[in-house]
Every structure is written in C-alpha cells, then in structure tokens.
Amino acid sequence: MSLNNVLPFLSTLVMLVFTISVLQRYVVRRQLHFLFWGIGLAMFGAGSFAEAYLALGWNKWVFFVWYLFGAALNAAWLGHGTLYLLVRKRWVHGVTAALVIGSLFAGYLMLQAMPKLDESVFTTSKPVSEQYGTKALDAGESAPEGALTVNTTYRGEEVTAVRGLLPLGTPVRLTTPFFNIYGLLTLVGGAIYSAFLFWRKRVMPNRVVANVLIAAGALAIGFASTLTRLGYGQFLYLGELFSAILMFVGFQLAAKPQPNEVPAQQSVPASAD
C-alpha cells in the first residue's frame, strides 16, 4: 500500500476526532454554529473515507458519498456554521432553509446520475477527483496520454471528450460550484474577518492565530483540488490531510482560554467569537 493510499485514512481519522469534539460542544452549548460545523466536518470525513476506499477499488455508492458529501456539500455546511456564528439575524434561518433544500435537491440529482455512470473508465491508478467528470476538449486541444475519449454531441455541437465517470452535462455537476463558492466565502471570509477583529482590538491573540489557521486549512484543500484539475493529482491527499490538521489545530487553539480570562469565560469554545 502506497503513502497516497494511507493519507486519506489519516484525514478521515483526524476529521472523526474533530467532528466528535465539535458535536460534543453543540450538545453542551446548543449553539447552531457547532451543529453546522459538525455536520460539515462529518461530510468532510465521509468524503475522505470514500476517497480512500476508491483508491483501492470501485463501488458506485462509495462514489455517491464521495461526490455528494466530499466534492459538493461539505464546504457549504462548514461555511454556514461560520455564518451562524458571526451573524445573529433572522434572515440566516432563510439561508439555512435554502441550504437544506439545495442539498436535498443535489442528492436527488446525484441519484438520477447513478445509472448513467461510465464505470468502465475507473482506475485505482489515479485519484477519483481526476476521473469523475467527462471533459469536452477545446478545438485543437489534445487528450492527455492514455486518456479514453469519445465523440459525442454536446450543446448542439459535435465534440471530442475525455471520458469520465459522470457524463457531459450531468445536472448535479452544475450545482457544485454554488455550494463551494458559498462555503469559501463564508468559511474563509468569516475566519479572516474574525481574525481581523481580534487583532484590531488587541484581544485574544490565540483566536487571531486560530482563525488564520482555519482559513489556511480551507484554502489548502481548495489549492490541492485546483492542482488536481491541472494534472497534479499526487498532491491532493496530502493537501486534504494538511487541511484537516490545520483546521483541527485552529479550532483547538481557539477554544483554549487565555490566562487573563475569568473562569466563566473558559468554557466558551467558539472558534471565532
């Protein structure tokens, strides 16, 4: 078993411990940001485990878990937890309803896509993130060496496409950018905003560093995913583990009380409040 086969399992373990820690805080505090963080982290962990499994063999329902929870939804649910932490307005509940309905709709679209999977293209020699989607080649663009291609009609034009598990134009793929952009803006933006507030007020320096680590962790997985799409998939699993560790350390550091905090404050575990 290679290192790349082991790394996703390590990421899953880190996220399992992280998820339990966050959900325990929700049980004690009953604050909704902990609940959404916990759900988002559980999705991250499920995606990491599915990715590890798919590095060893094929199972279409494991792929379902990987795409829906790992590729599509987890960033949005994590970011929504940060929104609940920073914004105490009623309209956030409306955003929650939209997120839940959107997630259920994405799950429905993913179920619709399952019978159409091109399972014959799957290989354990590449990360699943390099082979999940069929990609139309631009005019004059050559297919990567060893890639399987198909000539098909797409948007009324005859195109050559590199075959992937999900066919061209699969509706569920159109939903993924919306979830990921929302997650990036709320999780990274919220962490940076919180760090700036603490830094400006010269209070709780541990939470300045903590929020920077949380933002860096979220950006790390985005950067690793971008490298994968550019053909450098060997860095994906390391990026995921790095991301999981950074966010976990950031959260733990944020929960650590300062020496000058009174005992009543020591039990407050928020990562950005």
Q: What is the arithmetic mean of pLDDT over 9-20?
A: 86
| φ, ψ (nearest 5 deg) of residue 136 | -75, 135
End-to-end C-alpha distance for the chain, whole angstroms: 43
Alpha carbon 206 to its chain's center: 25
Residue whose token pair is 């948007």: 155
Residue 267 has pLDDT above 80, yes or no: no
From its phi and psi, is residue 122 left (phi > 0), alpha (psi between -120 and 50) or beta?
Answer: beta
In this prediction, residue 195 carries a pLDDT of: 74
Q: Rounded CA gap, 45 and 64, in Å?
A: 14
Q: Rounded CA gap, 52 and 44, in Å?
A: 12
Look at residue 10 and give its three-state secondary structure: helix
The per-residue pLDDT for range 79-107, each reduced to its tens digit, is 898 888 888 888 999 999 999 999 999 99
* pLDDT classification of 69: cutoffs 50, 70, 90: very high
Look at residue 257 and give its three-state secondary structure: coil
Give the C-alpha distances (Å, rounded to integers) separating 25 from 21, 37, 239.
Answer: 7, 11, 27
Alpha carbon 159 to its chain's center: 31
* pLDDT classification of 226: cutoffs 50, 70, 90: low
Residue 258 has pLDDT above 60, yes or no: no
Contacts of 186 (CB under 8 A, 6+ apart): 76, 79, 80, 82, 83
DSSP string computed for 184-236: IIIIIHHHHHHHHHHHHHT--HHHHHHHHHHHHHHHHHHHHHHHHHTT-GGGH
Structure tokens at 262: 């009174």
Query: Taking a C-beta distance cutoff of 8 angstroms, is the pair 121, 131 a contact?
Result: yes
Residue whose token pair is 């329902």: 61
Helices and strands, counts by H and E, the chain: 10, 3
Query: Taking a C-beta distance cutoff of 8 angstroms, is the pair 198, 206 a contact?
Result: no
The per-residue pLDDT for range 122-155, each reduced to its tens digit, is 988 888 887 888 888 777 777 777 778 888 877 7
Residue whose token pair is 């709709």: 105
